């Protein structure tokens, strides 16, 4: 035991050895009993579908307050579980690595992005000492498939089919592509080779259609299946089908704050937020609507209309997937999980070589900071930072064999918990070794108690680091230190869930406790000081940095 003091006499050492053996056996039995209790009264091994949206904010689904039409996901939400305090890792590569491995991003070699910085924990691909959900389930009798965006290993030797997936269709690199030709260096992989799409190609439809194809194929086998459906939508560039854009044009020709407040009120009606929940002040960089020209208003309306259309189209395809499961008599024994990899992004990139009208093939644009502030209602800040607006995600679980009725749960949880949940719900074992490599133990905690409407023992703490941005949550206390300003901010989320009041000066002891806990975590998972990462990062990686 950690608290046991070692004695010096031979007799004491002998007695201590007996005690260690005894308590080790007790622990072993206890762990087995705990495993049994978690699996107790659970149904047969379910099919598992894990759906990940890209750059979608906390309030961008109808069931989380949005005016965007998402009936398919709303149906899952209103017949399943919604969690209100579910966290991702603040950006695409880190979140995907954490999701797939059940580890913190640095433990999964994704301390930055997927370029190799030649530093431990910053290698840019999933390492041999991590096992993916697909590898784990494949070892436990599952068929596995992925459709969509990979983004956790550029080189082919790190692609999905080398990480446990039997089938893969999609973008092995970084996605960000809708119509063909794609901007940048994106490539599309179909089974055995890189392909050139047809003229009528639209990636969201293709990703959904291939997911349906994989489900149809895998359901013909006696084995359960695992599908990872990782959408590009609604990540920039803004590109959508004309018929989907038409549903929204003109709807967003109104003040940003009005749309934000409408979402806020709907979130309270949905039960996502309690009636007395505050809303953060609108971001200081959001312009006053009345100060804009008509041309500027039209531009903002179009940008948000395309963004909404991208989410709408994603939802349409998910609806077809649900219909397929129902037709195959697989829906009731399928656990469907939906979340986003980070909050809405204030990034504002353009490409002079892609100057077609926003939304059309050959265009390149973002929906910009004012609409990202709306996406992250009621929270502040954006993707990339450790504030709630960057790390909270809608989280929906549909699994009627355990979740019997619509329910909203407010317990905090983290994206790495999904691995532990799948381990428990399938009766699998998280291995100590795989393919001859020792596997890093997961710090994730199963969500099965939450599914059963029970109180789950909370994490002792949750921690974040990306591009020098630091954050920690312990109980209701939250510490944020944003780069490059590096000012300490301390919040009590039970009293101030939108992080408006900095308590760092009035609670110095709590601040020191949070910083010490974060540093202990950082040392344990391999965080490298950001300045040293900058020195080591290749030029291509540095181009992705944004402050």
Position 13 pLDDT exceeds 50: no
* pLDDT (average), residues 519-532: 97
**pLDDT tens profile 320-344:** 999 999 999 999 999 999 999 999 9
User: According to CATH, what is the number of the domain 47-542?
Assistant: 3.40.720.10
Model confidence at 185, pLDDT cuts 50, 70, 90, reads: confident
Question: Rounded to an integer, what distance in angstroms lies between the CA atom of residue 335 and that of residue 79?
Answer: 12
Model confidence at 478, pLDDT cuts 50, 70, 90, reads: very high
CA-wise closest residue to 91 among 54, 146, 41: 54
- The values of phi and psi at residue 130, to 5°, are -125, 140
- DSSP code per residue over 414-447: ETTHHHHHHHHHTT----SEETTEEPPPP-----
How much of the chain, in percent, has pLDDT values that exceed 70? 92
**pLDDT tens profile 98-155:** 999 999 999 999 999 999 999 999 999 999 999 999 999 999 999 999 999 999 999 9
pLDDT confidence of residue 29: 37
Q: What is the pTM of this model?
A: 0.92
Q: What angle do CA 531, 519, 471 make, to 5 degrees?
A: 80
Q: For residue 177, what are the CA distances in angstroms to 185, 187, 212?
A: 10, 9, 20
* pLDDT (average), residues 404-424: 97
Of residues 185 and 67, more confidently modeled: 67
* pLDDT (average), residues 157-171: 98
152-161, 184-193, 454-463: lowest mean pLDDT where? 184-193
| Cβ atoms within 10 Å, residue 226 | 28
Percentage helix, strand, coil, to 5, in the chain? 35, 15, 50
pLDDT confidence of residue 531: 95
* pLDDT (average), residues 185-193: 92
Contact 94, 525 (CB under 8 A): no
Model confidence at 33, pLDDT cuts 50, 70, 90, reads: very low
Q: For residue 505, what are the CA distances in angstroms to 385, 424, 478, 493?
A: 22, 43, 14, 17
Domain ranges of the chain: 47-542
CA-wise closest residue to 84 among 101, 61, 50: 61
Position 300 pLDDT exceeds 60: yes
pLDDT confidence of residue 36: 42
How much of the chain, in percent, has pLDDT values that exceed 90? 87
* pLDDT (average), residues 8-24: 35
pLDDT confidence of residue 10: 37
- With 0-12 / 13-18 / 19 or more C-beta atoms within 10 angstroms meaning exposed / middle / buried, residue 465 is buried
Question: Rounded to an integer, what distance in angstroms lies between the CA atom of residue 461 and that of residue 453?
Answer: 22
Position 20 pLDDT exceeds 80: no
Position 287 pLDDT exceeds 80: yes
pLDDT confidence of residue 350: 86
Position 452 pLDDT exceeds 90: yes
| Cβ atoms within 10 Å, residue 156 | 11
Alpha-carbon torsion angle 97, 101, 107, 111, nearest 10: 0
Question: Rounded to an integer, what distance in angstroms lies between the CA atom of residue 238 and that of residue 546?
Answer: 19
Classify residue 393 as left (phi > 0), alpha (psi -120 to 50) or beta: beta
Handedness of CA 268, 274, 277, 280 (dihedral sign): negative
């Amino acid at each position: 035991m950690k608290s046991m003091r070692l004695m010096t006499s031979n007799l004491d050492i002998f007695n201590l050895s007996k005690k260690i053996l005894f308590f080790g056996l007790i622990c072993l039995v206890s762990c087995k009993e705990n495993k049994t209790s978690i699996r107790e009264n659970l149904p047969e091994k379910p099919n598992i579908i894990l759906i990940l949206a890209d750059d979608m904010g906390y309030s961008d689904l109808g069931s989380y307050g949005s005016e965007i039409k998402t009936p398919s996901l709303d149906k899952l939400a209103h017949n399943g579980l919604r969690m209100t305090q579910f966290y991702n890792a603040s950006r695409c590569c880190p979140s995907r690595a954490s999701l797939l491995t059940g580890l913190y991003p640095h433990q999964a070699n994704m301390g930055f992005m997927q370029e190799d910085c030649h530093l431990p924990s910053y290698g840019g691909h999933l390492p041999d000492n991590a096992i993916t959900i697909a590898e784990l389930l494949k070892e436990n009798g599952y068929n596995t498939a992925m459709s969509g965006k990979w983004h956790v290993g550029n080189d082919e030797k790190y692609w999905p089919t080398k990480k446990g997936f039997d089938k893969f269709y999609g973008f092995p690199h970084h996605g960000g592509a809708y119509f063909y030709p794609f901007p940048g260096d994106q490539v599309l992989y179909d089974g055995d080779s890189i392909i050139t799409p047809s003229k009528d190609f639209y990636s969201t439809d293709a990703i959904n259609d291939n997911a349906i194809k994989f489900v149809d194929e895998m359901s013909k086998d006696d084995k359960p299946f695992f599908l990872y459906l990782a959408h590009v939508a609604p990540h920039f560039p803004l590109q959508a089908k004309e018929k989907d854009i038409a549903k929204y044009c003109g709807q967003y020709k109104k003040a940003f704050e009005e749309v934000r407040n409408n979402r806020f009120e709907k979130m309270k009606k949905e039960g996502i937020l309690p009636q007395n929940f505050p809303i953060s002040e609108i971001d200081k960089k959001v312009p006053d609507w009345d100060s804009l020209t008509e041309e500027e208003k039209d531009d903002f309306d179009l940008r948000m209309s395309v963004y909404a259309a991208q989410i709408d189209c994603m939802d349409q395809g998910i609806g077809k997937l649900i219909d397929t499961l129902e037709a195959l008599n697989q829906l009731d024994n399928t656990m469907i999980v939906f979340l986003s990899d980070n909050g809405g992004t204030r990034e504002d990139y353009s490409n002079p070589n892609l100057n077609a009208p926003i939304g059309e093939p050959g265009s390149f644009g973002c929906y910009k900071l004012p609409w990202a502030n709306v996406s992250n209602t009621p929270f502040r800040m954006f993707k990339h930072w450790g504030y709630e607006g960057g790390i909270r995600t809608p989280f929906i679980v549909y699994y009627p064999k355990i979740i019997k009725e619509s329910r909203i749960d407010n317990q905090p949880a983290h994206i790495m918990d999904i691995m532990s949940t799948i381990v428990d719900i399938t009766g699998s074992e998280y291995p100590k070794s795989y393919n001859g490599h020792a596997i890093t133990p997961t710090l994730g905690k199963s969500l099965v108690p939450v599914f059963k409407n029970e109180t789950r023992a909370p994490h002792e703490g949750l921690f974040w680091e990306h591009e020098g941005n630091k954050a920690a949550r312990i109980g209701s206390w939250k510490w944020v230190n944003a780069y490059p300003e590096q000012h300490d901010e301390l919040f009590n989320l039970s009293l101030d869930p939108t992080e408006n009041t900095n308590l760092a000066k009035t609670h110095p002891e709590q601040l020191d406790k949070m910083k010490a806990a974060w540093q202990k975590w950082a040392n344990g998972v391999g965080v490298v000081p950001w300045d040293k990462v900058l020195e080591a990062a290749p030029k291509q990686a540095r181009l992705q940095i944004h402050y």
